[in-house]
């Protein structure tokens, strides 16, 4: 079968490879991949900054956001049948207590693998096989945009955890800020609007961009960072209860910490693979964190519980804003043009690599 693989740590190494077709062995389902979403992690892996091949392999099949259809199921597989649509989770557990409790996204030992990222092949090929416990069934009505479930699961986790932390007091959040208008920023805005918050999105793209129009239809306020610098958020908006950092820019992350309101919480989701040192208003941040009971936390990955929450929210959001998720998919690229799919263009929100029809 055809797949796209990189040589980890080698920049621009993505290439088409030929691999044996996996089998639906006992306890496994064989999945035919329909389409794969590309994100910043894939770009970083293809830039040679991140990624690890499976043991015994020189290459890593990339791709961790995939919509697939069950082709066959092996002996002993229950709950799935040929034709079912599936999105599989990314992380595979080690034997730490959290992983054993189904929370591999909170892994303690760090010996987890991540399909398409760390020590396990991903989904950017014609087929893959998987255990049912890592497969999430997708209602047929969500076919067009279900490939967005993995990035949605990331913000499901981030928001769930923030709200859980805030159970430390009486908390009635009204205003949120989202930094970045990529898929993570927009998907988080959708969840926050479903929760009834006023949302301000700070980003670089122009308000008349596709991002800006989507956010306007969500009744979120789009603020261009050219006119509204992150350092002024607090002065411009007043009390901000929740901030989601989704730019992956560490300068922005630290600047934003000084903008959270009293008793507020900021969640960092962007990964920065570099070694940058920046100047930050350390005294101001320290003082504010203490005097305002503020919380700053990082959030990575998502376990299947968050994928399942995402399936519910897909349905709720689609009812309220019909077609909203389709508008996030700005490019569909045929398999042969995988290199162009991996190149980020300014107008892109989510790019998909089409693997098969169906």
Task: Give the one entry of ligand BGC, Zn ion, none that residue 99 binds, where binding means its C-beta sits below a cut-off of 5 to 8 angstroms depending on kind.
Answer: Zn ion
Q: What are phi and psi of 272, to 5 degrees?
A: -120, 115
Q: What are phi and psi of 357, to 5 degrees?
A: -80, 155
Applying CB under 6 A, which of residues 154, 240, 267, 333 lies at the interface with ligand BGC?
A: 154
Q: Is 36 in the site for ligand BGC (CB under 6 A)?
A: no
Complex with ligand BGC: residue 148 or 260, whichever CB lies closer: 148
- For 298, the token pair is 């990082």
Q: What are phi and psi of 344, to 5 degrees?
A: -80, 130
Q: Cβ of residue 103: shortest distance to ligand BGC, in angstroms? A: 13
Complex with Zn ion: residue 49 or 94, whichever CB lies closer: 94
Applying CB under 6 A, which of residues 301, 303, 313, 328 lies at the interface with ligand BGC?
A: 301
**Among candidates 325, 320, 182, 307, which has minimal Cα distance to 252?**
182
- Residue 252 belongs to what H/E stretch? helix 250-257
Encoded one letter per residue, x for contact with ligand BGC by CB under 6 A and - for no contact, window 114-133 reads x--x----------------
Complex with ligand BGC: residue 52 or 71, whichever CB lies closer: 52
> Could you please report the per-residue DSSP string of 189-215?
HHHHHHTT-EEEEEESS-TTSHHHHHH
Q: Is 347 exposed, middle or buried (0-12, 13-18, 19+ CB in 10 A)?
A: exposed
Tell me the pairing of strands 65-73 and 85-88.
Answer: antiparallel
Q: Is 106 in the site for ligand BGC (CB under 6 A)?
A: no
Q: Cβ of residue 143: shortest distance to ligand BGC, in angstroms? A: 21
User: Interface residues with Zn ion (CB under 5 A)?
Assistant: 94, 96, 99, 107, 109
**Which residues are at the interface with ligand BGC (CB under 6 A)?**
39, 41, 64, 90-91, 114, 117, 150, 154, 300-301
């Amino acid at each position: 079968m055809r797949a796209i693989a990189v040589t980890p740590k080698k920049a621009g190494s993505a290439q088409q490879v030929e691999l044996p077709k996996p089998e639906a062995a006992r306890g496994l389902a064989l999945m035919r991949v329909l389409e794969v979403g590309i994100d910043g992690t894939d770009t970083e892996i293809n830039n040679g900054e991140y990624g690890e091949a499976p043991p015994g392999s020189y290459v890593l099949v990339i791709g961790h956001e995939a919509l697939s259809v069950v082709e066959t199921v092996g002996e002993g597989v229950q709950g799935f049948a040929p034709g079912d649509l599936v999105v599989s989770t990314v992380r595979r557990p080690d034997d730490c207590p959290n992983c054993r409790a189904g929370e591999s996204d909170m892994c303690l030992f760090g010996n987890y693998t991540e399909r398409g990222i760390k020590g396990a092949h991903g989904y950017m090929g014609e087929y893959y096989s998987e255990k049912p416990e890592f497969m999430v069934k997708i209602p047929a009505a969500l076919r067009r945009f279900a490939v967005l479930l993995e990035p949605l699961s990331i913000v499901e986790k981030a928001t769930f955890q923030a709200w859980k932390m805030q159970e430390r007091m009486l908390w009635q959040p009204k205003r949120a800020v989202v930094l970045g208008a990529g898929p993570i920023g927009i998907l988080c805005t959708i969840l926050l609007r479903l929760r009834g918050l006023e949302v301000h999105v700070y980003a670089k793209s122009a308000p008349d961009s596709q991002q800006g129009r989507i956010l306007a239809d969500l009744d979120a306020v789009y603020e261009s960072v050219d006119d509204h610098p992150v350092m002024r958020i607090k002065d411009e908006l007043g009390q901000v209860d929740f901030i989601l950092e989704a730019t992956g820019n560490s300068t922005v992350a630290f600047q934003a910490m000084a903008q959270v309101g009293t008793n507020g919480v900021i969640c960092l989701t962007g990964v920065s693979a570099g070694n940058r040192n920046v100047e930050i208003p350390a005294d101001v941040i320290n003082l504010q964190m203490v005097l305002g009971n503020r919380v700053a936390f990082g959030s990575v990955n998502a376990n299947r519980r968050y994928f399942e929450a995402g399936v519910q929210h897909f349905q709720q959001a689609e009812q309220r804003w019909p077609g909203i998720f389709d508008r996030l998919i700005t490019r569909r690229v045929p398999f042969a043009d995988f290199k162009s799919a991996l190149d980020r263009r300014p107008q892109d929100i989510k790019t998909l690599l089409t693997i098969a029809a169906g």
